Chain A
């Protein structure tokens, strides 16, 4: 059971991901089950992340499981100075599966070596957040009917965004074309471009959102955060260059869908929301089905 932990997107094979995506589709058709009726799932949020926690806890409830845990480390044994190792060892004696989010990088991998129950990494600092990637894959497959040959635009902060890095790695298995749209300061790091070169995958870099999006199947938008800029003037200059507005979507492909890991600030104008190509709230909903499927897969229930 131990080796079933999902810490990093590279831990599972392509076949395992397909199996999980298929199961997620089943859950979307019929979301309420008693499959986890006899299971206790620990939800350990050492740092708050309301969206991710609610998504996991909804997934557990829909499967009839029980949740224990905490939504922040304050007022817990952690605040009293307990080591991560001791917390995980203890909780692994109570629960059948541990979902954890922690600000320290590598904490989930370490927990998976300490615990005899499987771990799901719900984010470890700026390192990995594999269930976000799983629901992104699900959303792309669901809206495009396939993961193959997708023209994928990644927009926003491509330097720090772990979400776009994981998605890039995962989609590279499926012969995509990438278009990177970002301020020069926040470009896709060289190591990922080297990775694509090695795999022979085409990519193009753009300084602004322009008519090239007419070729897009998926536009994946991320937040450009003010705190990433040491010079506030620099931020003011770029912040409006990466805002997606409804009129920019004229002439784009019918199958185009707009994705965003949420929360959104202003990088997608609210005038896009009524457009059928806006898919970010459905994407968040898909996260519940993807997490339901993942938990059943890990526990060997389905």
Chain B
């Protein structure tokens, strides 16, 4: 059986596929899964032809915003987002890192103005050795991929 089918099909909504298994929980957290009230199906440690084990998330009746896509790209740039209508994939997007990330990531520098005054964060996205680095527009310090903390 195809691995996508091991997780229940949805009539309409969003399927986030080709997530590296190790990234599943970070993605669930960054998209704020606990705040969603529609049906959600999650598969993990499924066999992947591209890499060892993959995860898949199916969210019924919800469609991702640009912010959601950016958040997923930050954690797993290889993920694929499928939009489903009538049980069919009508749109397939490979997530892509944007040039800038605004508002939802916290700057790691405790002395940064964004952590002292009501200032929306803003970062330039840089990729170095396969890792995402976020350079703060204000304090110019780097927040590394492993230190990304989402502002709720």
A125, B111: Cα distance in complex, Å: 8
Return the 6 tightest CB-CB contacts between A and B, nearest first. Answer: A106-B138, A106-B139, A105-B139, A106-B113, A109-B138, A110-B113
Determine if A85 and B138 form an interchain contact, defined as CB atoms under 8 angstroms apart: no
Chain A residues near B (Cβ < 8 Å): 8, 83-85, 103-107, 109-110, 124-128
Most B CB within 10 A of own CB, among A106, A124, A125, A128: A106
| Chain A interface, >50% SS class | loop
Determine if A104 and B112 form an interchain contact, defined as CB atoms under 8 angstroms apart: yes
**B 107-125 binary contact with A (CB < 8 Å = 1; else 0):** 0010111101111000000
Determine if A110 and B141 form an interchain contact, defined as CB atoms under 8 angstroms apart: no
Residues in B79-136 with C-beta less than 8 Å from chain A: 109, 111-114, 116-119, 136
Chain A residues with CB below 8 A from B113, complex form: 84, 104-107, 109-110
Determine if A128 and B140 form an interchain contact, defined as CB atoms under 8 angstroms apart: yes
A106, B137: Cα distance in complex, Å: 8
B149 to chain A, nearest CB (A): 17
Total count of chain B residues near the partner, CB < 8 A? 15
Chain B residues with CB below 8 A from A126, complex form: 111
- Closest residue of chain A to B140 (Cβ to Cβ) is A127
Most B CB within 10 A of own CB, among A103, A104, A125, A126: A104
A64, B117: Cα distance in complex, Å: 36
Determine if B141 and A105 form an interchain contact, defined as CB atoms under 8 angstroms apart: yes
On whether A110 and B117 interact (CB within 8 A), knowing A8-B140, A105-B138, A128-B140, the answer reads yes
A104, B110: Cα distance in complex, Å: 9
Determine if B138 and A110 form an interchain contact, defined as CB atoms under 8 angstroms apart: yes
Chain B residues with CB below 8 A from A110, complex form: 113, 117, 119, 138
A295 to chain B, nearest CB (A): 24
Chain B residues with CB below 8 A from A127, complex form: 139-141
Chain B residues with CB below 8 A from A109, complex form: 113, 137-139
Chain A residues with CB below 8 A from B141, complex form: 105, 127
Determine if A105 and B112 form an interchain contact, defined as CB atoms under 8 angstroms apart: yes
Chain A residues with CB below 8 A from B119, complex form: 110
A149, B138: Cα distance in complex, Å: 33
A177, B140: Cα distance in complex, Å: 26
Most A CB within 10 A of own CB, among B111, B113, B118, B139: B113
B58 to chain A, nearest CB (A): 40
A109, B135: Cα distance in complex, Å: 14
B42 to chain A, nearest CB (A): 38
A127, B113: Cα distance in complex, Å: 12
Most A CB within 10 A of own CB, among B116, B117, B118, B138: B138
Chain A residues with CB below 8 A from B112, complex form: 104-106
Chain B residues with CB below 8 A from A106, complex form: 112-114, 136-140
